[in-house]
Amino acid sequence: MAFNKSLAGYFDDVQHIGIPTDDMAKTIAFWEKLGFKKLGEFDTDNQGNEVIFMQYGHLTLEIWTGDGAVHETGAINHISLNTSDADAAFKAAKAEGFKLKDDEVQHLDFWDKGIKFFNIEGPNSETIEFCEIVK
């Protein structure tokens, strides 16, 4: 994706929806009952907290422990948009004046080569993540 100063040019789809849980087994069982399959599983802190990715068709969920579940309507933590260039998307978001929740592009060791991501805040305090699965 070429730099075009519009953040809209830096994502092509929803990548995942992030949901924190305080009961991973119960959460996995719920989504499996709806037909979701486990796609990936990662240790997040060497203290028993984990991230599970589950998928049904085109929809992927990121479910993790460690932050606790809110247990209220609207408790989804974030919506992630797929980008193939997190660095350029970050520059575009900054140039366009979006409210950035990160000072720089973040990195995690998920998947084979990791991910790069950053978050912006929407008008209702919602978090929108721009995530690149490094290839």
Q: Which domains does the chain have, with CATH numbers?
A: 11-133 (3.10.180.10)
**pLDDT at residue 1 in the model:** 45
CB within 8 A of 97, min separation 6: which ones?
A: none
The pLDDT tens digits for 25-80 are 999 999 999 999 999 999 988 888 999 999 999 999 999 999 888 888 888 999 99
User: Per-residue pLDDT for 82 more than 50?
Assistant: yes
- DSSP lists the bridge partners of residue 78 as 18
The pLDDT tens digits for 87-106 are 999 999 999 999 999 999 99
Taking the C-alpha atoms of residue 6 and residue 17, their distance in angstroms, rounded to an integer, is: 23
H or E stretch at 30: helix 24-33
Locus of tokens 């660095």: 87
Mean pLDDT over residues 113-126, rounded? 92
Mean pLDDT over residues 105-111, rounded? 94
Instruction: Kindly state the DSSP code that residue 69 receives in the 8-state scheme.
Output: -
**pLDDT at residue 5 in the model:** 62
Instruction: Note the pTM of the prediction, 2 decimals.
Output: 0.85
Taking the C-alpha atoms of residue 22 and residue 71, their distance in angstroms, rounded to an integer, is: 10
Tokens of 59: 């929809």
